[in-house]
Structure formats: C-alpha cells, structure tokens
Amino acid sequence: MQYRTLGRTGVQVSSLALGAMNFGRIGRTTQEEATALVDAALEAGINLIDTADMYGAGESEEMVGKALAGRRDDVVLATKAGMPMGDDPNHRGSSRRWLVRALDDSLRRLGVDHVDLYQIHRWDPATGDEETLSALTDLQRAGKIRAFGSSTFPAHRIVQAQWAAREHHLGRYVTEQPSYSVLQRGVEAHVLPVAEEYGLGVLVWSPLASGWLSGAIRRGRDIATHRAGFLPDRFDLSVPANRARLDAVERLAGIAEEAGLTLIQLALGFVTAHPAVTSALVGPRTLGHLRDHLAAADTVLSSDVLDAIDAVVAPGTDLAPGEKHDAPPSLLDPSLRRRR
C-alpha cells in the first residue's frame, strides 16, 4: 500500500481508502459484513475510512463506529454533512445552525469525540462561505474536528471559499472530494488544477464509475451491478451516453488485458496516477469486491497505457455529462439564467 500526504495537513493516508456508503441498507450489508470489511481493509494497510451522515440516514456511521470500537486511533476517520436528513428544511445545508447539530449527531453515531476530516457534502447556494467556514473553524477549535474539506464543489466555488477564508481570517478547506474516473474526466479541466494550486488533498469517489469499470458490465451480458437496481437510467442502453460508456469499457478492457491487468486495476491505477489525487475511495459490498480493489493498491500504469486510455476517453471529457454532480444551479434551473 502506498501512503501520501493529505494536502498540507501532514497526515499520511493510504492511496486506496474505504468508502462506507454501502454499509447498511444501501448495499444490503450487515454489521458483521461491515466489520469484516473494515478488518480486512486495515490489515491490508488502508488507514482512511470515509462515510457521511446521509448514508442510510445515519446507519453507515453507526456501523463504522461499531466496526472501529477499540481502535479509533488506527484510522483517519472522515465523514460528511449537508445533504437532507429528513423533511425539515433546516436539517440540511451548511448553515452554522445545522452543522453544529449534524456534527454532534455524527459523533454520537460513530461513538467518537472527534473526526479527523469533516466535509461539506455539496456546495449550499443558500449559505454564505463566511457562515460555513466560521462554524467549521469554531468546531475545529473546539476539538471536534481536526480538519475540514469540501465535496463535489465546482472549481469556482473552491476558489471562492479559499478567498473567503483568507478575507475573514478563518480556517480553510484542506481537501476536496470530487467524482473522477476514466469515464468521467471533466474535473481534470478545472477542479484538479485548482486543488493543486491551493495544495488541497483530493479524495476521489466513484473511481469505478458506479460499476461500469468493475468488469461486470460488458457487451452481450446482462448488466450485473448493484447500482442498476436503484439507478436504472445510468445503465439503460437506449441512452446515448450509456452506449458511449459501454463502447469505452470494451476498448478499455482490451487495454487492460494487453497490459496484464484487470479492468479494476486499470481504473484505480488511472485515477491514482494523477498528481493531484491523494486517495481513491472504494466502496465494496463484499470481501470479494475488496480483494479485487486491493489488487490495485500498488498498480502503476506505464506511459503507453495512460496514452492508450487518453485515446479512448480524451482528457477533461465526461462521457455522461448529465451526471455531473457539481453543475452550478443555473444550469439545472432555467429560472436562474433568465432575466425577469
């Protein structure tokens, strides 16, 4: 397992990290299975575990907490807040009012007195940067969080938040967690260069593109991935973007085979090769999945292989642009781009 410095924090983290979204109802994973995954991950050298309050409405955090009982100090523990936690309109977002409560709830579920990294799950257009950064700075000074970061922020919002921290003499985001894979390379154009400019640690999610790069999805086979059950539109081959992804997967599988690699090794080796990336988050549901991911821990792709990947999916290109999670609100709501 390789270890890298998380931004400028001085904290060393593994190049593969365990994402816990599939713990509980989302991945139909029991506590016993979740604990076995944590055991195996730690034994293999993974030392970063990432979860969020909204995964299973808190269930993932509870399961992570139980799995880590008695060995909290062995891991860099990260969680996130900001996504809706119920119907109350104030039980979401990044206001001071909500973050103070959300963090206390997360600490209780995790069974710890602090987290190492607390991340804002999505940019909240309704809340100013000063409000959020002030709350996070106070929580850091109170010892409840060691560092804080952003997740899936557009590049311009990352820059704005860095400026606000400097302007108001507040703590700053030290990490960003974007979606990044061979099939979704849009962050290479703006987000990753900005992260490098500001010295942010980068923890990438969905490096296997929701299962497209797991090796389970190939032409002529029934699509066999857990995500297809609750995200059917992402795997419907009548959608042009999905056909483009399948075509790319077939070509990438050939590159992997020629290089003597699995498709998973190719996919994880690709994202961890980018100089801006600190760790790739893997979200296994079974020990078999985890073993497949761990096989990529020390994968280093040659320049020839990376060039071949570039020829399949051009740098900075998203094959499914409709699935970008950092689109500004004005691109999603017509009323925000039309003068009244």
Where in the sequence numbering do the catalytic residues fall? 55
Checking 99-103 for CB contacts under 8 A at 24+ apart, the result is 99/132, 99/135, 99/136, 99/139, 100/135, 100/139, 102/53, 103/139, 103/144, 103/145
CA–CA dist 121, 61 (Å, integer) = 15
Q: How many other C-beta atoms lie within 10 A of the C-beta of residue 155?
A: 19
DSSP 49: E
Q: Please identify which residue in the block is written with the tokens 């109802």.
A: 25
Residue pair 18/51 in contact by the 8 Å Cβ criterion: no
The angle at the Cα of 21, spanning 241 to 6, to the nearest 5 degrees, equals 95
Q: What letters, b where the CB count within 10 A reaches 16 and e where it falls short, cover 275-308?
A: ebbbbbbbbbbeeebbebbbebbebebeeebeeb
Residue pair 23/50 in contact by the 8 Å Cβ criterion: no
**Run of H or E including 145:** strand 145-151
CA–CA dist 209, 240 (Å, integer) = 16
Backbone phi and psi for residue 37, each to the nearest 5 degrees, phi listed first: -65, -45
